[in-house]
Structure 1
Amino acid sequence: MQNKKNVTLLIIVAALGYFVDIYDLIVFNVVKKQSLQELGFTGDALKANEIFLFNLQMTGMLLGGLLWGIMGDKKGRVSVLFGSIFLYSLANILNAFVTDINQYAIMRFIAGIGLAGELGAGITLVAENMPKEKRGYGTMIIVTFGALGAVVAGMVGKTFGWQTTYIVGGGLGLTLLLMRAGAYESGMYQNLLHNSEIKRGNFFSLFKKWSLFLKYLACILIGLPIWFAIGVLINLSDRFALAHGLIEKIDIADSVMYAYLGLSVGDLASGLLSQYLKSRKKVIFVYLVLSVSLMFVYLFNTNVSVEYYKYMCFGIGFGTGYWALFVTIASEQFGTNIRSTVTNTVPNFVRGAVVPITLSFSSLSKTMGPINAAMWVGLCCLALAFLATLYIKDSFSKDLNYFEID
């Protein structure tokens, strides 16, 4: 009974942590235009700095995913929960007081590093502490509730100024630290500590065996369509509206809010369907087909309005609502001594992949326009995800109490 209460508390703490994490991750996309305008940017310079700052934040997440992942295997999962949230909360508070683009860039990079640790540590802890047949419920709750952080970020951003929106996010994170006192390491990790001969958090071990490397790469590729949708279709929805001839202005904060509301519902549905079918892969395939269908409707339906974009952003979010399954799959594919490293780096490498994705989109847009550019970049991401899902083994109810030996 006590263990059940501990697991429940762990899920609640991880879900709240991811809620704040998503708030602080998305807050830039909500307030970017207002904040950059107040710093004196307009026109093409504003658009260029939007992409520059967003890519810098994602680059920070690439580095942070590696740092926090290795730390989680070497020092413990709980230490990552504390360290990551403190760093990104502090960075977001300081972000409210920037006065030029260089300060803004530094804060987004530091925030990106901090944001990289929350999800992986929470998913790893829950996956290792819950029964193997039910851990999908735990990860589903974390991501479903956590995705609502973007909805709150959108609401706060529309109600208050950009400085206040950043301060609220940082304040929520620092408040959450008080709840982390009850977090504890998993029995699997404690067992790992008693095996001193087993190497922990050796990132390069993933590249020593061809089979491990391909499995690791496949885990990353599965998530590409999610961040293509967020980084291009949602974050740049105002550009697609303009290309469709819509005169009314699209509010990016609304696009983000509706997309993440759809993502939350989609993750709930995919998690429940996975438990019902007792399969992760089958559900991923369903969502990939749904994603490509919605992408074509979104890009090529010219009978559009502001309300249409809200509905489509919700639909795009729902169609890519397999983030919980994607991260759970990564956690289940590898042994305890490298699990934190994988579970932290995989989602953050996918988030970091938004840099080449957006750069490819921007480059192709110059010659073929935003609609066709988004279609070809999206199809590439979806094809890679489909092939990667075919490659991996279904890990539903897999026993996770094992080590990866060099």
Structure 2
Amino acid sequence: MTRFDFYQEESDMSGGASEPIQAIDREDEKPWWRIFNRTHWMIFVVASMAWMIDCMDQQIFNLARDPAVEFLVNKELTNIYAPYTTSVFLVGWAIGGLILGSLGDRYGRAKMLLVAILMYAVCTGLSAFAKGFWDFSFYRFITGLGVGGVFGLAVALVSDSVPDRSRAPALGMLQSLSALGNISAGLIGIGVGFLAIRQALPANLQAWQILFLIGGIPALFLAPLLLRINEPQKWVDAKKEGELKGIKFGSYANLLGHPVWRKHAWLGLVACGAGIIGLWGIGNFHPRIVRSIVDAHLAASNLTPEAIAAEKTYWGSVGLFLQNIGGFLGMLVLSKLARVKGRRIALGLALLLSFLTTVMVFRFMREIDQMYWMLPVMGFGQYSVFGVYAIYLPELFPTSLRGTGTSFCYNFGRLLAATAPFTIGQVTRSLGGNIEAFRTSGIAVSFILLLGIIVLPFLPETKGKPLPKD
């Protein structure tokens, strides 16, 4: 029995009304985390860790992608083949998110979250042992399947588990904490790069291989905790009621056949696809710009190719760390704005910031010193949209479709985002294949971010409203 139920029942027996009102008032004045019980905390922490480690895995791929392709293919073709591996990863991400999100609605969020974590942990580690471009791409595809399921399952698990008043701030914090996973990847990359510069890596292992091996470990320690989590009671009750009424959980036919949920799904997809393209199709390729800057600075040095590669790994990791410091602040600030001013205005501002800051870095960042302020500013803009997504998307769909709808918007958008690296690679090749061509193509593709702003007036404002029901 909750505290509210206890005081309400006591009031009914005694006939007095003053004590329940005081109790409810005191409860409403508490910060959102103070009304969590042990079960709420367990679910919130495990879901946040799952998404945090997932994000660390994503960023380790961004750091290791180019040197892996250089090693497995050759340096001259890296600018062409590296974007293809990102496209493969994003396609896997989209497919995995769509499948696991639907299965989470049908069979349970916690169960499917465990499956997703094991998939990306194992195949991240296997990426270190790739022998060529094709098996490397295969491992990235399977990793993408697992990575894609985590966000929709994690936010659905928290949405259906915590008190309503805590839902929006808890989801905003869950997304903001994901930046710690990104920052961890940057720190891991800095450490590996530092060891590579001093030629202290284990024998016969490249820096990119060590990054993938490290990336696969943390999720394996999280799996036992997920085994201890029960499915949310809200989902269990809704599932039983749905079975009596003949409601199919996790049904894409229901999602796309219902006039309201269909509208939310397609418009949410456009809004999400724009932000995802901004980060994954464009922004996460900034390590290539950083590497080109380092190349220019070391052009006159007498360093060996191995030493130059180590320097690039180090500075690429520094850039990732700086980007995600800004990203953490961006998600905190814009998720707070979403709670105070509304979801749509916060998302519109976030998409605009993502566009402006991405263009700034691709056009103007030319020196190492500029990294220290430009990359945090870009991270603030690019990641701010995800702080709003975490709050907004679960509020657009009912319990039977919450994981399905959230994953549809968030992960089907990956299929759109997967075209961006391919497009950038083709435009870069047509413009000469050099770093300036890459900068130009990145700026051109970044205009897609503005499309997400256009659809926002056609989506509902969900601030202050209860979660929708079937």
Deviation at 1:229, TM superposition (A): 3.2
**What is the RMSD of the two structures over their aligned residues, measured on CA atoms?**
2.5
Give the TM-score of the pair, scaled to structure 1.
0.90
Q: How far, CA to CA, are the matches of 1:361 and 1:347 in structure 2?
A: 22
Deviation at 1:82, TM superposition (A): 0.8
* Alignment map for 1:22-101 (pairs within 5 Å): 22-43=55-76, 45-101=77-133
**Structure 1: runs of 5+ lacking an equivalent:** none
Q: 2:317 aligns to what?
A: 253
Alpha-carbon displacement from aligned partner over 1:286-334 (angstroms, at most 9, x marks no partner):
22332333234334437x3112134222111101212031133121101
Residue 375 (str. 1) matches residue 443 (str. 2) = yes
Q: How far, CA to CA, are the matches of 2:270 and 2:213 in structure 1?
A: 34
Q: Would the alpha carbon gap of residues 291 and 242 (structure 1) be closer, same or farther in structure 2, given more than 3 Å must change? A: same
Match of 1:154 among 173, 186, 189: 186
Structure having the higher Rg: 2
* Moved >6 Å (runs of 4+): 241-246
Residue 169 (str. 1) matches residue 215 (str. 2) = yes
Deviation at 1:4, TM superposition (A): 2.1
Q: Would the alpha carbon gap of residues 198 and 3 (structure 1) be closer, same or farther in structure 2, given more than 3 Å must change? A: farther
Q: Would the alpha carbon gap of residues 97 and 81 (structure 1) be closer, same or farther in structure 2, given more than 3 Å must change? A: same
What is the identity, as a one-letter code, of the residue corresponding to 2:357? L
Residue 117 (str. 1) matches residue 184 (str. 2) = no
Q: Would the alpha carbon gap of residues 323 and 347 (structure 1) be closer, same or farther in structure 2, given more than 3 Å must change? A: same
Q: Would the alpha carbon gap of residues 358 and 163 (structure 1) be closer, same or farther in structure 2, given more than 3 Å must change? A: closer
Single out whichever of 80-89 and 369-378 deviates more from structure 2: 369-378
CA contact (8 A) 1:192 1:198 kept: no
Residue 270 (str. 1) matches residue 316 (str. 2) = no
Q: 1:353 aligns to what?
A: 416
Q: 1:384 aligns to what?
A: 451
Q: Would the alpha carbon gap of residues 124 and 301 (structure 1) be closer, same or farther in structure 2, given more than 3 Å must change? A: same
Q: How far, CA to CA, are the matches of 1:110 and 1:174 in structure 2?
A: 16
Q: How far, CA to CA, are the matches of 2:235 and 2:358 in structure 1?
A: 41
Identity across matched positions, percent: 20
CA contact (8 A) 1:77 1:185 kept: yes
**Structure 2: runs of 5+ lacking an equivalent:** 3-34, 193-206, 299-311
Q: 1:103 aligns to what?
A: 135
CA contact (8 A) 1:29 1:253 kept: no
Q: Would the alpha carbon gap of residues 301 and 102 (structure 1) be closer, same or farther in structure 2, given more than 3 Å must change? A: closer
Secondary structure of the equivalent of 1:223? helix
Q: How far, CA to CA, are the matches of 1:224 and 1:258 in structure 2?
A: 24
Residue 212 (str. 1) matches residue 255 (str. 2) = no
Q: Would the alpha carbon gap of residues 309 and 21 (structure 1) be closer, same or farther in structure 2, given more than 3 Å must change? A: same
CA contact (8 A) 1:235 1:252 kept: no
Q: 2:378 aligns to what?
A: 316
Q: How far, CA to CA, are the matches of 1:157 and 1:245 in structure 2?
A: 16
Q: 1:178 aligns to what?
A: 224
CA contact (8 A) 2:277 2:449 kept: no
Q: Would the alpha carbon gap of residues 244 and 169 (structure 1) be closer, same or farther in structure 2, given more than 3 Å must change? A: closer
Q: How far, CA to CA, are the matches of 1:308 and 1:344 in structure 2?
A: 37
Alpha-carbon displacement from aligned partner over 1:224-267 (angstroms, at most 9, x marks no partner):
34333323443333555699998237643333332222222111
What is the identity, as a one-letter code, of the residue corresponding to 2:74? F
Q: How far, CA to CA, are the matches of 1:384 and 1:280 in structure 2?
A: 17
Q: Would the alpha carbon gap of residues 312 and 79 (structure 1) be closer, same or farther in structure 2, given more than 3 Å must change? A: same
Secondary structure of the equivalent of 1:98? coil
Residue 298 (str. 1) matches residue 361 (str. 2) = yes
CA contact (8 A) 1:219 1:329 kept: no
